[in-house]
Amino acid sequence: MAQVLNNFLTKSIVLALLLLAGCGSKMSHRPMMEATEVGVMTLQPGSVAVQSELPGRTVAFKMSEVRPQASGIIKQRLFEEGSTVSAGQVLYLIDPSSYQAAYDQANADVANAEAIEASSELKDERYKQLMEMQGVSQQEADDARATHLQALANIALKKAARESARINLGYTQIRAPISGRIGKSSVTVGALVTANQDTALATIRALDPIYVDLTQSSTQVLQLRRLLGTDGMQSGSRKVSLKLEDGTEYAEYGTLKFQEVAVDQATGSVTLRAQFPNPRGDLLPGMYVRAVLDEAVNSSAILAPQLSISRDARGNPVAMIAGKNDQVEQREVVISRSVGNDYIISSGLQSGDRLIVEGLNKIHVGEKIRPVAVQSKASKSATANAPARQPATSKALTGRR
């Protein structure tokens, strides 16, 4: 019995050794793991607009406060509040009775002065003739001549008084000094107004075109000047786009008109003024807006999709590239700013690098990979030269305010 048990154990051990040998033979013939496939994008320099997003307020292109230039009672109001009025249009009528009477009197004074002048002229002519015949003395002729000249001067004086009375009579018709939209009236019919009073009767604003006054910190101004001094940087266009209070983009583009030459000591900012067409009246004075300006153009920018940039243990931005022999390399990069869904890389990456943009979660530094070229849609749109509409996420030189 013991002999049978020993034979069984011996056969079992031999069988186990044979099985292990077979498994080892199979493992030795297993193929090596294939390289991980990743998507890469070959970096090329492109032209990118360097933008600033600045806060601002809309300001009327023209504004005029309507005030009376004559005193009296408002007899009639001839406009609808909130309507569009034209320059020279009559807005209010002041009771003209006293001014009409003053004009009529001045007109009569002119007629009287002209009659006196006609009589003095005849006397002057007669005395001239009598003087030649020794009929009157030299003194009498001179007096007649002086009287005639005084009569002429009196006519001029009376005509000036008549013109003044006519102007004052015209002031009883209060006219619009400019064309535009008129606001509410501060007076009603029957109200007493005085010449050049402090309170305006109404305010007229010209809204097409319209101004947008923007504020930019003096720090940003200095940064932009230094930026324009670097290689590959050129001055941007004067075109300005606008975002409204509700976040929507204004349909019309504006033009940057000027930059203030002084810094506001209270805020440390500089004022810029842009002009926008406003044909539909969407922009009203006093609205808060944000404007995007193309302040410079970087003609040799290296763009990397934001999703391809990660952070190392110290929090520094890093990028993975397909290096020599298709092995993963890690590069520490410096981000200049963001443009849409991309970063502008100022150092760490260069033209020709194969940036890994897909499959980053499947690779490690030094690992063998199989790169496949891809085209980033975000990068393609961001590197377009002078796009029709910049992304709404454009930032200022020092970031969003």
Which pLDDT score, from 0 to 100, does residue 200 have? 93
H or E segment at 240? Answer: strand 239-243
- Give the tens place of pLDDT for each residue, 327-367: 888 888 888 777 778 888 878 888 888 888 888 888 888 88
Q: Which of 82-91, 205-214, 261-270, 321-330 has the lowest mean pLDDT?
A: 261-270
Q: Which of 138-152, 196-210, 222-236 has the lowest mean pLDDT?
A: 222-236
Q: Residue 28: pLDDT band by 50, 70, 90 thresholds?
A: very low
Which pLDDT score, from 0 to 100, does residue 169 have? 93
Which residues make Cβ contacts (< 8 Å) with residue 368, sequence separation at least 6? 35, 36, 325, 326, 327
- Give the tens place of pLDDT for each residue, 240-250: 888 888 888 88
pLDDT beyond 60 at 149: yes
Average pLDDT over residues 109-122: 88
Which pLDDT score, from 0 to 100, does residue 312 have? 85
Which of 288, 291, 302 has the alpha carbon at shortest distance from 339? Answer: 302
pLDDT beyond 60 at 297: yes
Strand stretches in 253-353, DSSP E = 254-259, 269-276, 288-305, 309-311, 317-322, 328-332, 334-339, 342-347
Burial 135-152, CB ≥16 within 10 A → b, else e: ebeeeebeebbebbeebe
pLDDT beyond 60 at 143: yes
Task: Give the phi and the psi of residue 78 in degrees, each rounded to 5.
Answer: -115, 25
Average pLDDT over residues 315-321: 88
- The more confident residue out of 304 and 336 is 304
pLDDT beyond 50 at 5: no
Which pLDDT score, from 0 to 100, does residue 383 have? 37
Average pLDDT over residues 303-331: 87
Question: Using CA atoms, how far apart are residues 324 and 129, in angstroms rounded to an integer?
Answer: 123
Which residues make Cβ contacts (< 8 Å) with residue 134, sequence separation at least 6? none
Which pLDDT score, from 0 to 100, does residue 216 have? 83
Which pLDDT score, from 0 to 100, does residue 60 have? 92
Average pLDDT over residues 219-228: 69
Percentage of residues of the chain with pLDDT beyond 90: 28
Which pLDDT score, from 0 to 100, does residue 336 have? 77
Q: Residue 75: pLDDT band by 50, 70, 90 thresholds?
A: very high
pLDDT beyond 70 at 11: no
Is 51 in a helix, a strand, or coil?
strand
Is 139 in a helix, a strand, or coil?
helix
> Which tokens is 21 given?
């040998």
pLDDT beyond 50 at 122: yes
Work out the mean pLDDT of the chain and round it to a whole number. 80
Average pLDDT over residues 174-179: 94
Average pLDDT over residues 164-171: 93
Question: Using CA atoms, how far apart are residues 392 and 401, in angstroms rounded to an integer?
Answer: 15
Which of 90, 92, 58 has the alpha carbon at shortest distance from 72? Answer: 92
Domains of the chain: 38-47+299-382 (2.40.420.20), 51-60+211-298 (2.40.30.170), 68-95+172-199 (2.40.50.100), 96-171 (1.10.287.470)
Question: Using CA atoms, how far apart are residues 401 and 396, in angstroms rounded to an integer?
Answer: 8
Strand stretches in 84-231, DSSP E = 84-85, 90-94, 173-175, 180-182, 192-193, 202-217
Geometric angle at alpha carbon 375, from 327 and 39, rounded to 5°: 30
Q: Residue 129: pLDDT band by 50, 70, 90 thresholds?
A: confident
Average pLDDT over residues 105-111: 93
